[in-house]
A and B are shown apart, each in its own frame.
Chain A
Amino acid sequence: MTKEKSNSKIKESYIFEHRDVLKAKEIERYHSLFKLFMTRDKEKITLCIAAVRTLLRETDGIFSREEMESSLDYLNSETKVYVIRTIIKYGWITNNGVRYQVPERVRHMMMFFFSVFVGESDSFGQEIDVSLAVSDLDEVVGTDEESASQSLQIAFGTLKRIKMEFKNCVEQKSSSEAKNLLMKGKGFNETMRKVDIKLNEINRKSYRYTQTTEVRKTMAEIMRLSQELHEFIQQDIQANARSFGQYLTPEQVEEFLHEAPLERLAGLSEKNFSSPRKPSFLSREELYRRGFGYLENKAETQELTQAPPIVEIVERTFKEINSNSASDMFYKEIIYRLNEQSTIPLHSLVIKNNFGETIFRTGLLTTLRNELKSNEEIIFEISLKDNILELPEGFLKNITDGYVEFIGNIKK
């Protein structure tokens, strides 16, 4: 009884002319294609789909039985027979009695299968891209405007879903969810721009403003929500530095360092710059003295060291005996030599193979003579000749010829 009742209710809804029901009814005649998936044997389904894929790739579209079998050589004979039987049975390959053919619809379906189900669409950008690309098919196929707009609704449904995800995350305030969204929403601005371009295109072709404005509304809302999410992450990091690691891995930080221009990096560290204070190289005692003065708010004055105690000094007198002075020695030498001979040649007296000593001795000679003259006790006189004597040895090359001569004491 109940079964009949439920059946009748299903019938009721089936007859009801909702546009989605009508649309779904259009696919009914291709349902036999999907019976392939009724087998519930995963391996068999996989093999069947693989076989269709090879046929699409390696044959010309229309092929004989032999060609088909040769291209499916990678299956063993039993499975080959089974696979071919199955795909023919469910209409993935049509047979006109002589030759076989893969219908174009199957080709498109395979393309769709292998682009949508294979590969991971882990970012929002990719998801939106796929849905927009699929909605583009409507233009190619040439459906009427109403159904095209309906499929656009489905395509932009992705945006609504993303909006809900953002909303949930912001409401729940869970950091792990936020990180997920962060990863998914990479390059979000670009996708938004893409959607914007698409919407403009749609508007140019046909005037479906009500729909596009709705989509724009959701986009704006997503932007606002992402802003909120960003603020939430900011606050989270500010509250706890450790959560920085949840959102950004070291590799990502490095990527940022590579990508960001130099001025931006400089600006960041300038904003938080603290002037470095260098350690001073003064002695520790000096530091303490200065520091205590500073801390106690005293003027920096130098502490005077105490004067040493007065000590009595015993004075002593020294007699200065200057017996060996240079002029004395020279005087004695002259006297000694004058005793032996009456005249001494000047060069033998003055020059001792040394330039400095020559000048010293000549100076000494004249001062000695002047001194003796002033004391009125002249013993010798210097007399110079007109000629110049050339010396073969020594530092000086030549000297004025002359001699020192004994005169005798004037006083007497």
Chain B
Amino acid sequence: MSVIDIEEEAKTICIRLYYGYVEKDEFELLAKDALLYRIVQDKLDWLGLELVDRPECPWYIARVKREYDSFTQFRSRNKAFKSVHLALILILYAKLVLPKRVGQINNNQVLSISFEEIYEKFGHKFAPSFKVPTSKQRMETLLSMLVKQGFIIKKRAENNYLAGPSMYMLHEDLLTDLADSSLETLFGFGNHEGEPME
């Protein structure tokens, strides 16, 4: 019978998570051992990180806690990251992650979106001006930025895009926010306060 030193095991896992994301198959022990899981969580918590472990996500990911994270800092480090990219992230989130998280699609299925679909459905939103339509090249550069930041993974052979680890790092409140604003725009609920009622 081999004795596993939990501290050491937890440390190695923490280190791997600290420097990136890890496939779930690599740490099979983590899913089985509740104590180890707890220790890893505590350790990461102490570092100011959160363990993201969602059933639909194929990785274990550590993300910076909300109170230590700052978007402005990220923006200053990546000047090329514009609000257009943010909007594209939301669109791809709704396409690639949302159906699984909401339970409309089974977790085992792999969701992917082709470049043509993105271009045809949402290309018009990213036009540089009213007169100039979006070119395919512009769309590709926008997507390549997201690939670089790890929000999506490009499958070169099928020209498909899959959800990347950074996509799962978005905070969970995005779901409710998305629901709120879509209910608001689709059904007109929720924004009566500003209206004049005699």
- B170 an interface residue at 8 Å Cβ cutoff? yes
Chain A residues with Cβ below 8 Å from B192 are 189, 223, 226-227
- B18 an interface residue at 8 Å Cβ cutoff? yes
- B6 an interface residue at 8 Å Cβ cutoff? no
Which one of A268, A280, A295 has the greatest number of beta carbons of chain B within 10 Å?
A268
* Whole-angstrom CA separation of A276 from B93 in the bound complex: 15
Q: A33-66: which residues lie under 8 A (CB-CB) from chain B?
A: none
Beta-carbon contact of B43 and A269 below 8 Å? no
Min CB gap A183→B, angstroms: 8
Beta-carbon contact of B188 and A187 below 8 Å? yes
Interface size for B (C-beta < 8 A) is: 69
Supposing A223-B192, A234-B176, A245-B102 touch, asked if A292 and B170 sit within 8 A by C-beta, the answer is: no
- B181 an interface residue at 8 Å Cβ cutoff? yes
- A323 an interface residue at 8 Å Cβ cutoff? no
Min CB gap A256→B, angstroms: 4
Supposing A260-B181, A272-B173 touch, asked if A189 and B195 sit within 8 A by C-beta, the answer is: yes
Beta-carbon contact of A270 and B71 below 8 Å? yes
Which one of B16, B64, B86, B151 has the greatest number of beta carbons of chain A within 10 Å?
B86
Beta-carbon contact of B183 and A182 below 8 Å? yes
Contact partner, B84, options A241, A245, A262, A291, Cβ 8 Å? A262
- B144 an interface residue at 8 Å Cβ cutoff? no
Contact partner, A226, options B63, B94, B149, B189, Cβ 8 Å? B189
Beta-carbon contact of B19 and A268 below 8 Å? no
Chain A residues with Cβ below 8 Å from B89 are 269
| A235 nearest in chain B by CB position | B176
Supposing A216-B198, A266-B87 touch, asked if A257 and B11 sit within 8 A by C-beta, the answer is: no
Chain B residues with Cβ below 8 Å from A263 are 83, 87
Contact partner, B93, options A219, A260, A269, Cβ 8 Å? A269
- B169 an interface residue at 8 Å Cβ cutoff? yes
* Whole-angstrom CA separation of A269 from B121 in the bound complex: 20
Beta-carbon contact of B64 and A277 below 8 Å? yes
Interface size for A (C-beta < 8 A) is: 63
Supposing A274-B169, A292-B11 touch, asked if A255 and B186 sit within 8 A by C-beta, the answer is: yes
Min CB gap A159→B, angstroms: 14
| B43 nearest in chain A by CB position | A295
Beta-carbon contact of B43 and A266 below 8 Å? no
Min CB gap A267→B, angstroms: 8
- A190 an interface residue at 8 Å Cβ cutoff? yes
Chain A residues with Cβ below 8 Å from B133 are none
Q: A246-286: which residues lie under 8 A (CB-CB) from chain B?
A: 247-248, 250, 252-260, 262-280, 282
* Whole-angstrom CA separation of A319 from B134 in the bound complex: 80
Beta-carbon contact of B166 and A276 below 8 Å? yes
Supposing A189-B192, A226-B192, A250-B104 touch, asked if A275 and B69 sit within 8 A by C-beta, the answer is: yes
* Whole-angstrom CA separation of A234 from B50 in the bound complex: 25
Beta-carbon contact of B177 and A265 below 8 Å? no
26 cross-chain CB contacts under 8 A: A182-B187, A188-B188, A189-B191, A216-B198, A223-B192, A223-B197, A226-B189, A227-B189, A227-B190, A229-B189, A230-B189, A233-B183, A234-B180, A241-B175, A245-B104, A253-B182, A257-B94, A258-B121, A266-B83, A270-B83, A271-B174, A273-B86, A274-B64, A288-B15, A291-B15, A291-B18
Q: Residues of B at under 8 Å CB distance from A? A: 11-12, 14-16, 18-21, 43, 62-64, 66, 69-71, 73-74, 83-84, 86-87, 89-91, 93-94, 98-99, 101-104, 121-122, 125-126, 149-151, 165-166, 169-183, 185-192, 195, 197-198
**Which 3 pairs show the lowest CB-CB distances between chains A and B?**
A279-B20, A291-B15, A276-B166
